[in-house]
Copies of this chain bind each other. A is one copy, B any other.
Amino acid sequence: MVTAAASFSLVRHELARVEQALAETAQPDHPLLGPMLSTILPGSGKRLRPTLAMLVGNLGEFRLEPMLHMATGVELLHTASLVHDDVVDESELRRGSRTLFTRVGNALAVLVGDYLFAQAAERCVATHNVRVIGLFAQTLSSMCQGQIEEASRGNEPHLTVTKDAYLQTIWGKTASLFVLACEGSAILAGLDEPRIQAMRRYGERVGLAFQIVDDLLDFVGDEASLGKRVGSDLRQGTITLPVICLRDALPAAEFAAAFDEYDVDRLVELVRGSAAIERARAEAERLLEEARSSLELVPAGEPRDALECLTHYVAERRA
């Protein structure tokens, strides 16, 4: 049995190159961009998406240069979307650090996010693979639609958000980027069409589960590890799977009454004390099981074992 650490380690040389590419994109010598980008690009995060991309790339004919552009582009796209997320949510903290929005203000954070989208586009174009570039553009579109759905939902009555609507939203805002990482790499590595589709499915299921676990941690996570208060989604007016499961677990009148008050601490306690957590976790597990069965189509070996291992890592992460 491979460990998560061993899975990341399998592509450590490739990830070091991604890290270097991100450090270059941060333009340390640029008087305006350097100070802003250097705090958000280099050395931050676990690089889960580039890791998935590099592992999938190792299932076929691995060519470093296009894979490097692809993995870097995916991470830049991810960073760009976080910068705009913080603008949209007016977030002060992300993982315990002050956000770019807080440090440089709304206007520059919007523009720096745009600049990172542009850098991501340049990286994806540098793969010189028209299919991958097309997938990139679709991903950008899906991500924006997911964000717009979530941001607009603040005005809807909370009782009406369905599990399907939730899944569609997180498909766009989170899973689409995992799809780009996995399907894009499968295309670049020259896998055949059934295997490309299998990697697309793997990325989609892992991405959906990743977001569900994120949304669970917002109720049951440890505030110190998360670097933010629990219940932050509810404070933003964002309804996630645990709340949808709570609605299914409680009598309608009781649920409605709890929401009429909208005491976030009380709602968090309600979710924690109900079967909602367990049900949401079961949904994530179901998706990850589907991700694992998608792996049956690709060649056995260390990269496949690592991809399987990462499905457990996504389920078990605590922050």
Partner-B contacts on A (CB < 8 A): 32-33, 84, 87-89, 106-108, 110-115, 117-119, 121-122, 124-125, 128, 130, 133-134, 136-138, 140-141, 143-145, 147-149, 151-152
Counting from the closest, the 3 A-B pairs by CB-CB distance are A118-B140, A115-B144, A118-B141
Closest to A141 in B: B118
Of B111, B130, B149, the residue contacting A88 (CB under 8 A) is B111
* A114 vs B173: C-alpha distance when bound (angstroms): 13
* A115 vs B142: C-alpha distance when bound (angstroms): 9
Chain B residues whose C-beta falls within 8 Å of the C-beta of A140 in the assembled complex: 114, 117-118, 121
* A306 vs B30: C-alpha distance when bound (angstroms): 41
A148 and B118 within 8 A (CB): no
Instruction: A84-B114, A87-B107 are known; give 12 further A-B pairs, CB within 8 A.
Output: A32-B149, A33-B148, A88-B106, A108-B151, A108-B152, A110-B113, A111-B144, A111-B148, A114-B117, A114-B147, A117-B140, A121-B141
Interface centre among A121, A136, A147 (most CB of B within 10 A): A121
Give the Cβ gap from A110 to chain B, nearest Cβ, in Å: 6
Chain B residues whose C-beta falls within 8 Å of the C-beta of A136 in the assembled complex: 121, 125
A111 and B137 within 8 A (CB): no
Give the Cβ gap from A236 to chain B, nearest Cβ, in Å: 10
Answer whether A145 and B115 are a contact pair too, CB < 8 Å, given A133-B125, A137-B125. Answer: yes
A88 and B117 within 8 A (CB): no
Closest to A31 in B: B152
Closest to A152 in B: B32
Closest to A36 in B: B148
Chain B residues whose C-beta falls within 8 Å of the C-beta of A110 in the assembled complex: 84, 87-88, 110, 113
Chain B residues whose C-beta falls within 8 Å of the C-beta of A130 in the assembled complex: 125, 128, 130, 133
Chain B residues whose C-beta falls within 8 Å of the C-beta of A33 in the assembled complex: 145, 148
Closest to A122 in B: B137
Chain B residues whose C-beta falls within 8 Å of the C-beta of A121 in the assembled complex: 121, 136-137, 140-141
Chain B residues whose C-beta falls within 8 Å of the C-beta of A115 in the assembled complex: 141, 144-145, 148
Closest to A84 in B: B110
* A133 vs B125: C-alpha distance when bound (angstroms): 7
Give the Cβ gap from A14 to chain B, nearest Cβ, in Å: 23
Chain B residues whose C-beta falls within 8 Å of the C-beta of A122 in the assembled complex: 134, 137-138, 141
* A107 vs B152: C-alpha distance when bound (angstroms): 9
Give me 24 A-to-B residue pairs in the complex whose CB atoms sit less than 8 angstroms apart, sorted by A's number. Answer: A33-B145, A84-B110, A88-B110, A108-B151, A111-B148, A113-B114, A114-B117, A115-B141, A115-B144, A117-B117, A117-B140, A118-B137, A118-B140, A118-B144, A121-B121, A121-B136, A121-B137, A121-B140, A122-B138, A122-B141, A125-B130, A125-B134, A128-B130, A133-B133
* A89 vs B87: C-alpha distance when bound (angstroms): 15
Closest to A109 in B: B110
